[in-house]
Amino acid sequence: MTYGFIGIGNMGRTLIEAFIEAGTCKPSELIIHNRTKNKAEQLAKTYPGLRVASDNRETVRESSVFFLCVKPGEFRNVLQEIRDVTQSDQIAVSITSPVMISDLEAWLSCRIAKIIPSIANRVCAGNSLFVPGTRLTKEDETYLWDLFRTISQPILVDEQHTRVASDLASCSPAFLACLMEKLADAAVEETQLPRETALSLVTQMAHGLGQLLTKGNFTLKSLQEHVAVPGGITREGLNLLNRNTGPVFNELIRLTHAKYENDIQKVQNSLFPKVKNN
Ligand SMILES: NC(=O)c1ccc[n+]([C@@H]2O[C@H](COP(=O)([O-])OP(=O)(O)OC[C@H]3O[C@@H](n4cnc5c(N)ncnc54)[C@H](OP(=O)(O)O)[C@@H]3O)[C@@H](O)[C@H]2O)c1
């Protein structure tokens, strides 16, 4: 089996590293291409045997499953380049939420899946959001599911929910890291605790929190109840957080969705430009 990767940016590289290090595939089973070729060549130096294609067409021609790891605005160029070399029995996996499966199926003759990863997949953790296209067979679905199960917990998601699910699964590592950094910075500002100590404390706390929620039989709710004894300091802190943080998360979800709608429109305009009538 040969896997192709188009776009070796943050996520293309993360997926390749995760698949190789999880033992899902050998470097010799991968063929990759990136617009700035140097990025692909650097990765090939790290993983001897990994092949760098001369262009996206070669990447597709040589692979059974290929991953489209470019940004939404870059899809048109890539699809234009590869559309006449795709075969009906190949599978294209898009990792991008605002490019609709129906649009990819209109452009390419192959089978399509949308599978949105998370940076957490780099350490074989977190979810991948699984949205099968209409041409995938049951065997294809099982195959892709098992492939992503080697680096993540795949979860079936309706295409209409990919944005909000991505907010929680893919963007939240950054959102929560931001909140943790703010908490550490506030501790430093208020008490002169060395910043290095503060950052180490919140980082180790997050590691333990993840383990408690995944392996320690805690839920988000039961964990809060367990730590916050009545009348204690944590309870006071939770009361303050509950009073002050609610609307910001609603605003966050509204903001990502407004940008998403805008991105969908831009992708639609670029993939299916309207012909101007004179
Ligand atoms: N980052 C995440 O955590 C994450 C999570 C889930 C999904 N995603 C999705 O993954 C997609 C990629 O995100 P990213 O963070 O990896 O972006 P990125 O770092 O900008 O990577 C995109 C890569 O695509 C390459 N590229 C652009 N046009 C190309 C072409 N015509 N042929 C070959 N390569 C081309 C770029 O090459 P150059 O070096 O020339 O710019 C760049 O290396 C986005 O749609 C994003 O929504 C990202």
**Residue 64 counted as domain residue:** yes
- On the question of pLDDT at 235 being above 80, the answer is yes
> Which of 6, 34, 155 most suits a substitution to test ligand 1, by most atoms within 8 Å of the C-beta?
34
Burial 52-84 (b: 16+ CB within 10 A, else e): bbeebbbbbbbbebbbbbbebebbbebbebbee
Residue 24, C-beta contacts closer than 8 angstroms, at least 6 positions apart: 18, 147, 150, 151
CA–CA dist 113, 14 (Å, integer): 19
Are 77 and 11 in the same domain? yes
Are 117 and 14 in the same domain? yes
Are 188 and 140 in the same domain? no
Are 135 and 172 in the same domain? no
Are 9 and 54 in the same domain? yes
What confidence score (pLDDT) does residue 246 get? 82
Q: What angle do CA 146, 147, 153 make, to 5 degrees?
A: 70
Stretch 38-62: mean pLDDT, rounded?
98
What confidence score (pLDDT) does residue 81 get? 98
User: How large a percentage of the chain has pLDDT more than 90?
Assistant: 96
Of the residues 101, 123, 157, the one at which a domain ends? 157
Ligand 1 contacts CB of residue 77 (under 6 A): yes
CA–CA dist 133, 128 (Å, integer): 16
CA–CA dist 17, 39 (Å, integer): 14
Are 206 and 257 in the same domain? yes
Are 153 and 189 in the same domain? no
Nearest ligand 1 atom to the CA of 117 is 6
What confidence score (pLDDT) does residue 277 get? 63
Q: Name the domain count of the chain.
A: 2
Are 195 and 126 in the same domain? no
What's the 206 CA to ligand 1 centre distance in angstroms?
Answer: 28
**Residue 275 counted as domain residue:** no
CATH code (residue 141): 3.40.50.720
Nearest ligand 1 atom to the CA of 77 is 31
Give pLDDT tens digits for 51-93: 999 999 999 999 999 999 999 999 999 999 999 999 999 999 9
Alpha carbon 245 to chain centroid, angstroms: 26
The annotation places the binding site for NADP(+) at 6-11
Are 119 and 177 in the same domain? no
Ligand 1 contacts CB of residue 39 (under 6 A): yes
Ligand 1 contacts CB of residue 69 (under 6 A): yes
**Residue 59 counted as domain residue:** yes
DSSP H or E stretch at residue 116: strand 111-116
- On the question of pLDDT at 275 being above 90, the answer is no
Confidence of residue 276 (pLDDT cuts 50, 70, 90): low
Are 23 and 144 in the same domain? yes
Q: Could you identify the residue written with the tokens 């998370």?
A: 118
Compute CA distances 116 → 53, 102, 163, whole Å: 24, 16, 10
Give pLDDT tens digits for 82-140: 999 999 999 999 999 999 999 999 999 999 999 999 999 999 999 999 999 999 999 99
Ligand 1 contacts CB of residue 121 (under 6 A): no
Structural domain span for residue 92: 3-157
> Which of 68, 69, 81, 171 most suits a substitution to test ligand 1, by most atoms within 8 Å of the C-beta?
69
Give pLDDT tens digits for 204-233: 999 999 999 999 999 999 999 999 998 999
**Residue 37 counted as domain residue:** yes
Nearest ligand 1 atom to the CA of 166 is 6
Are 259 and 228 in the same domain? yes
What confidence score (pLDDT) does residue 274 get? 83
Q: Which amino acid is at 191?
A: T
DSSP H or E stretch at residue 61: helix 56-61
- The structure tokens listed for 116 are 């949105």
**Residue 276 counted as domain residue:** no
Ligand 1 contacts CB of residue 11 (under 6 A): yes
**Residue 278 counted as domain residue:** no
Residue 21, C-beta contacts closer than 8 angstroms, at least 6 positions apart: none
**Residue 19 counted as domain residue:** yes
CA–CA dist 12, 70 (Å, integer): 8
Are 21 and 127 in the same domain? yes
- On the question of pLDDT at 278 being above 70, the answer is no
CATH code (residue 199): 1.10.3730.10
Give pLDDT tens digits for 166-205: 999 999 999 999 999 999 999 999 999 999 999 999 999 9
Average pLDDT taken over every residue of the chain: 97
User: How large a percentage of the chain has pLDDT more than 70?
Assistant: 99
Stretch 157-169: mean pLDDT, rounded?
97
Of the residues 157, 180, 215, the one at which a domain ends? 157
